[in-house]
Structure 1
Amino acid sequence: MAAIKDTTYTPPSMVLAVLALAMATFMQVLDSTIANVALPTIAGNLGVSSEQSTWIITSFAVCNAIALPLTGWLSRRIGQLRLFILSVSLFTFTSFLCGIATSMPELIAFRALQGFFAGPMFPMCQTLLLAIFPSVKRGAALALISMVTVVAPIVGPITGGWITDNYSWPWIFFINIPIGIFCCLVVWQQLKGRADTTAKLPVDIIGIALLVLGVGLLQVVLDLGNNADWFESTNIVVMTIISVIALISFVIWELTEKNPIVNLYLFKDRNYAFGTIALVLSYSAFFAINIILPQWLQIYMGYTSIWAGLAAAPMGILPLILSPLIGKYAHKTDLRLLASISFVIIGISCFLRANFNTFVDFASVAEVQLFMGIGIAFMFMPLTTIFLSNLDHDQVAEASGLTTFLRVLGASFASSLTTWIWNRRADYHHATLAEHVSLQNPGAVEYLDKIGGATQSNLYSINSIVEKQSYMMSTNDYFYMLGCLFFVLIGFIWVTKGPFIKDSSAKPTAIKK
């Protein structure tokens, strides 16, 4: 059988095309975190409670999670380039609507639309980048995406805080407008000559309905579960049951439907299955680090949101430097080795944080973040290359969309579980430490005598110290657990099978039902 030729399309200006695609990715990833620090300000300006303002985040996440698995079907239906342009255009327009919203219901509705239109952007950026890079340079394209994926979530909270403090919260949405217009115009101009096939596929209405119901309710449960005390809430229990039934029905339906909305048969490929598992779990653990560290620094170490962001920011420095080099030379080594190095370094960084105490200084926190950046630089590009390695170009969009959906869902689980585990472990340590603060303990009595006796203010002061220490111990526990997880994930990587970067003349494996 004749080998399939490399179908790479070379745009008139590779630099402009890559720049516009990278900026679109950066804008979309940035927007998933930039609004977080502005919630108190938005709530105050629109006259709602802080609890109600969390729907700004939840509405975006729910609709984004629903749209991601649909990316493959949409790209086959209307074409990859047209889907990208449509998504970016509507994302930009809804960003404008978010900025001019005058009430919380308006803002939540516009954020929901913005989240839905953001769904296909990352998978399509990845697909189009791979389309303009030769097969042997696929690593360079994925390294670029990886670099943006790491840097944008770090920049988001810092940028959001700075804009909110110095201007006004609508500008966190308005800044998308010039970027979105630039990306649409440049990408269309550069890639309009590329052949783009479409197919009139039937609409899997039942599959879409089950997906929307199952994923939508699951995302709401994950976002609101902690505040509602999880299964102590009847609403959470009901939504969880409906979500589980809908998702199980969705999987069964998609595996038997002739024209499924999501191709679950991609998981028949070993590299896609285990590469996706490794990517989703490692990203979830990475996301958990980015949740617990800033919270601990702000609530119990007295950092402002800006300084907490600056303490975390060094992890993005080395990926900026190393990612292009890794992308350039990755094809000369075993990608499983690079991913293993990544997990070892990030795991060690977690163990280093597990030894922090309440006297740790800014420099020590930043140094560990800088060290972890080495591991981050080696993580995304090898893992993405591994899970895409056996797929042909027509499958990249649906594979990327499905994996990105699972990655986003994993991050939602990580967010909810991190807060839950952190608080539960803190309660445990608080109870253990509090046992020693009693009038039967000579040491406690001696300390109370030194500070003026067992007055209410002194007991309150001691309780504050105990609480701070209990959360420090809980933070140590959680980082130790994350460190162990990264070392366990090394085993998943070595189940995959190379070669992962093939010559352009090699025929890819098409995975079909």
Structure 2
Amino acid sequence: MLATLMQTLDSTIANVALPHMQGSMAASQDEITWVLTSYIVAAAIATPLTGWLADRFGVKRLLGFAIAGFTVASALCGLSNSLGEIVGSRLLQGIFGASLVPLSQSILLDINPRDRQGQAMAVWGMGVMVGPVLGPTLGGWLTDSYNWRWVFFINVPVGAFAFFGVSTFLPARDPARQTRFDMFGFATLALAIGALQAMLDRGEQLDWFSSLEIRIYALVAALSFAFFVVHTATHGPHTFFRYQLLKDRNFATGTFFIFVIGAVLYATRALLPPMLQSLMGYPVALTGLVTAPSGAGTMVAMLIAGRLLRRVDARALLLFGFVVSAFSLWQMMQYTIVLSPSDIVWPGVIQGFGLGFVFVPLSALTFSTLTPELRADGTATYSLMRNIGSSIGISVVQTFFTRGTQVSHANLAEHITPFDPAVQSMLSNGSPYNLGVLNQTITQQAQMIAYLNDFKMMFVATLLVIPLLVLIRPSSHSASAADASHAAMD
């Protein structure tokens, strides 16, 4: 749990500290963003390696090594004095941190009996879902109270404690299995993922496919993935990707759902802070305070869902969770340019509550029919799809926001004419200041419209995936067994 929380916190904790790092490193706006993108790209490329490394070295040994490496890399980030040093340290963080989430999930599934796996996924899910929400709040507090280096130093005691716990209390795992490494399969998949992440990270800055760089990224990603698919389909059972995973209907459907959840959750988290700070003038500390309660909603829902999963059909819990999440997005569609803190808090809490009811049963159902020998590869693929979904979701909403602002600004400006009495009064003294105020007002309204359109898009996407619940089969173990176990525990 600590390993999971440490890794997911680090995916967002550095965001609010970027301006402070930029001044300390004397870096440009484009250069400092590599502090974020280097971590994301490295983690995305290294995540598919988790299954093979677990087979080669054993799960317990690999998890301990990953925690130790991540902790040392965090300390190096805090000690960095140049842009090159911190980007290199963040690359190491991403490489070591890539396996923390899938390994912790695999271990929790293995050490808990089938009827307890729902509650185990609730505990694990708190780190996965709450970490990215609390990251900006904790990062802002550490940066304001101390300095940006503590955003990374905070991992050192947590990592040391997690390493001690894993090495001391984790039960001995199955012996390592010698498996042949498929270098071509890994290379093509890593190149495809790396190029896709680079395209998503740089696309908005470079106006997407009008840029030669973005077109090159897209071409490399498409060709590499095509080679990977053909290689996997034609080279038998010893390829890098275990295609047996796709034969499991629950796993295939579950990974698609987690892709959508990653897109909706992280896209919402990417929209709210800039909306509150740049559009409504919220300070960083208050922004963190009003967005953090959504994590509380997620934790409460996960605890409840973990208990209900042993009594209620998991698909019913999923339906409830998606409906609640859609309702929260509908509430966000009603936002106006003037919002009180409670207007932000309650939709966030409701969304967190709904996502908690989605995440726990989805994790349990996705792996309920998967054989134990496929779990390490399955959890790695599951985490990878969530991360890719979040990257695509953030890129899509940011692109639609930018273009929507431009379109709405043009539409609103069409109705501003010199014959309007309000405009005439502003033009009467000939002050350019008044025209600047008018343009700023139009821009604010255009941005608000663009934010609302993004919330509407995510609302529609959430509703569209609900019918796919029919593709998920109920868990193979009997409800009576779960009830008997629950009664015995009570």
Shorter-chain TM-score bucket reads over 0.9
What is the aligned partner in structure 1 of residue 485 from structure 2?
Answer: none
Residue type matched to 1:341 in 2?
F
Q: Distance in 1 between matches of 2:364 and 2:23?
A: 45
1:347 paired residue among 310, 323, 326: 326
What is the aligned partner in structure 1 of residue 154 from structure 2?
Answer: 175
Structure 2 CA distance for partners of 1:502 and 1:40, relative to 1, 3 Å = farther
What is the aligned partner in structure 1 of residue 338 from structure 2?
Answer: 359
The percent of aligned pairs where both chains have the same amino acid is 33
> Is the counterpart of residue 327 in structure 1 residue 291 in structure 2?
no
Q: How does 1:344-493 map to 2 (within 5 A)?
A: 344-439=323-418, 442=419, 444-449=420-425, 452-453=428-429, 455-493=431-469
Q: How does 1:159-198 map to 2 (within 5 A)?
A: 159-191=138-170, 193-198=171-176
Q: Distance in 2 between matches of 1:501 and 1:124?
A: 24
Moved more, 465-474 or 370-379: 370-379
**TM-fit CA distance, 1:194:** 2.2
What is the aligned partner in structure 1 of residue 291 from structure 2?
Answer: 312
What is the aligned partner in structure 2 of residue 231 from structure 1?
Answer: 209
The answer (yes or no) to whether the contact 2:60–2:173 under 8 Å persists in 1 is no
> Can you list the C-alpha shifts for 1:95-128, whole angstroms capped at 9, x where unaligned?
1111111210111011011101101100000111
The answer (yes or no) to whether the contact 1:226–1:419 under 8 Å persists in 2 is yes
Structure 2 CA distance for partners of 1:321 and 1:239, relative to 1, 3 Å = closer
Question: Which TM-score applies when normalising by structure 2?
Answer: 0.95
Residue type matched to 1:58 in 2?
T
**TM-fit CA distance, 1:153:** 1.0
Q: Distance in 1 between matches of 2:374 and 2:310?
A: 22
Aligned partner of residue 11 in structure 2, secondary structure: helix
Structure 2 CA distance for partners of 1:103 and 1:251, relative to 1, 3 Å = same
The answer (yes or no) to whether the contact 1:38–1:169 under 8 Å persists in 2 is yes
Count matched residues: 481
Aligned partner of residue 250 in structure 1, secondary structure: helix
Moved more, 467-476 or 446-455: 446-455
**TM-fit CA distance, 1:135:** 1.3
Moved more, 24-33 or 363-372: 363-372
What is the aligned partner in structure 2 of residue 214 from structure 1?
Answer: 192
Moved more, 450-459 or 159-168: 450-459
What is the aligned partner in structure 1 of residue 92 from structure 2?
Answer: 113
Residue type matched to 2:294 in 1?
M
Aligned partner of residue 310 in structure 2, secondary structure: helix
What is the aligned partner in structure 1 of residue 181 from structure 2?
Answer: 203
Residue type matched to 2:161 in 1?
F
> Is the counterpart of residue 153 in structure 1 residue 140 in structure 2?
no
What is the aligned partner in structure 2 of residue 12 from structure 1?
Answer: none
**TM-fit CA distance, 1:360:** 2.1
Q: Distance in 2 between matches of 1:454 and 1:138?
A: 70
Structure 2 CA distance for partners of 1:206 and 1:505, relative to 1, 3 Å = farther
The answer (yes or no) to whether the contact 2:329–2:459 under 8 Å persists in 1 is yes
Residue type matched to 1:109 in 2?
G
Residue type matched to 1:290 in 2?
R
What is the aligned partner in structure 2 of residue 55 from structure 1?
Answer: 34
The answer (yes or no) to whether the contact 1:385–1:501 under 8 Å persists in 2 is no
What is the aligned partner in structure 2 of residue 497 from structure 1?
Answer: 473
Residue type matched to 1:224 in 2?
R
What is the aligned partner in structure 2 of residue 4 from structure 1?
Answer: none
Question: Which TM-score applies when normalising by structure 1?
Answer: 0.91
The answer (yes or no) to whether the contact 2:122–2:306 under 8 Å persists in 1 is yes
Q: Distance in 2 between matches of 1:316 and 1:159?
A: 13
Aligned partner of residue 471 in structure 2, secondary structure: coil
Q: Distance in 1 between matches of 2:220 and 2:356?
A: 40
**TM-fit CA distance, 1:150:** 1.9
Structure 2 CA distance for partners of 1:205 and 1:255, relative to 1, 3 Å = same
Residue type matched to 1:476 in 2?
L
Structure 2 CA distance for partners of 1:397 and 1:502, relative to 1, 3 Å = farther
The answer (yes or no) to whether the contact 1:331–1:501 under 8 Å persists in 2 is no
**TM-fit CA distance, 1:276:** 1.2
Q: Distance in 2 between matches of 1:203 and 1:222?
A: 29
Structure 2 CA distance for partners of 1:463 and 1:296, relative to 1, 3 Å = same
> Is the counterpart of residue 30 in structure 1 residue 6 in structure 2?
no
> Can you list the C-alpha shifts for 1:314-337, whole angstroms capped at 9, x where unaligned?
211222223223212312111111
Aligned partner of residue 359 in structure 1, secondary structure: coil
2:78 paired residue among 70, 91, 99: 99
Structure 2 CA distance for partners of 1:247 and 1:419, relative to 1, 3 Å = same
Q: Distance in 2 between matches of 1:400 and 1:489?
A: 22
Q: Distance in 2 between matches of 1:174 and 1:145?
A: 23
Structure 2 CA distance for partners of 1:504 and 1:237, relative to 1, 3 Å = farther
> Can you list the C-alpha shifts for 1:140-192, whole angstroms capped at 9, x where unaligned?
1001111222221121111111111111212111111111111111111112x
Segments of 4+ in structure 1 off by > 6 A? 503-506
What is the aligned partner in structure 2 of residue 263 from structure 1?
Answer: 242
The answer (yes or no) to whether the contact 1:448–1:454 under 8 Å persists in 2 is no
The answer (yes or no) to whether the contact 1:135–1:502 under 8 Å persists in 2 is no
Q: Distance in 1 between matches of 2:336 and 2:308?
A: 40
**TM-fit CA distance, 1:502:** 5.5
> Can you list the C-alpha shifts for 1:461-508, whole angstroms capped at 9, x where unaligned?
1111111111111111111111111111111122111135568999xx
Aligned partner of residue 129 in structure 2, secondary structure: helix
Task: Specify every segment of 5 or more residues in structure 2 that has no aligned partner in the other structure, as ranges.
Answer: 483-490
